Amino acid sequence: MKIIHTVKKAQQVTTKLRSEGKVIGFVPTMGYLHEGHLSLIRIARKKVNVVFVSIFVNPLQFGPNEDYTRYPRDFKRDEKLCKSAGADYVFYPDVKELYPADFSTYVDVEKITGMLEGEIRPGHFRGVTTVVFKLFNIVQPHFSVFGQKDAQQAAVIKKMSVDLNLNQKIIIAPTLREDDGLAMSSRNIYLAKAQRKDAPYLFKALQYAKRRIEDKGYNRDISFLKHQMQKLIQSRPSVTKIDYIAFNDSGTLEPVTSFKESKKNKEIVVSLAVRFGKVRLIDNILINI
């Protein structure tokens, strides 16, 4: 496995690989890897000749009061994990390498970025789409693999790829969870003992919604379901705020307001964002209605 630090070197390598007919897979990350990230690398490994992983904590997607400076970083640990999962190259650039002093070009995906995470974190998705588009141009992958845990991000990147005619396939892999259901996340390390004990209730609330929605004889009113989910989450003492609980079309992210008006066999995503003091966690579940 080789480490690349510059855009120029990464482009030289990927251009040569493509000229040799190699199929390139790509897994973009912000590092501090966990088993969820490694599962994405393994998925890519099965589909391609060469696997690139990027490790870059992207300042553009953090708001002024968010955790950019304290986001967990441990490159030596990440390097070992990437190698164990089957990566061939790790692209590990400095911030100035991707954003030189005169940088002034951004990628905006409209409409679907203004809700959910985009409403709570203004400018977040402009940062995500800008860095991902840059990474796509640098690595030139045939396949890129993302996780379902960041459901809105996945939808936004897929939309950007279609709208800008990017010549690759986007793969969305299932969320990996701890034994108690908590979605794996680099930010889980922030959780204090009591918060960690309460955090699995996010997934319990999502499972509750799935059971009730799939039970056609139960009250499937969305307002009622949201209220019940809120009660369950707020029953945990370390929960300080629920940013949102939302029901959306899994592809378009159009809000779902009633199951009576929805087509049968439609896939929706139920998502939520919850704060445990300074720690903010997101999660979601896919449901066929």
**CA–CA distance, 196 with 52 (Å, rounded to integer):** 32
**CA–CA distance, 212 with 89 (Å, rounded to integer):** 45
SS3 286: strand
The token pair at 280 is 């903010």
Instruction: Find, among 91, 85, 89, 1, the residue nearest to 46 by Cα.
Output: 85
List strand residue ranges (DSSP E) for 102-240, in order.
Answer: 143-147, 169-173
> Which of 5, 34, 37, 142 is the catalytic position?
37
Instruction: Find, among 101, 146, 140, 102, the residue nearest to 128 by Cα.
Output: 146
| DSSP, residue by residue, 244-261 | EEEEEETTT-PBP--STT
The token pair at 119 is 């409403």
Q: Is 37 a catalytic residue?
A: yes
The residues carrying an active-site annotation are: 37
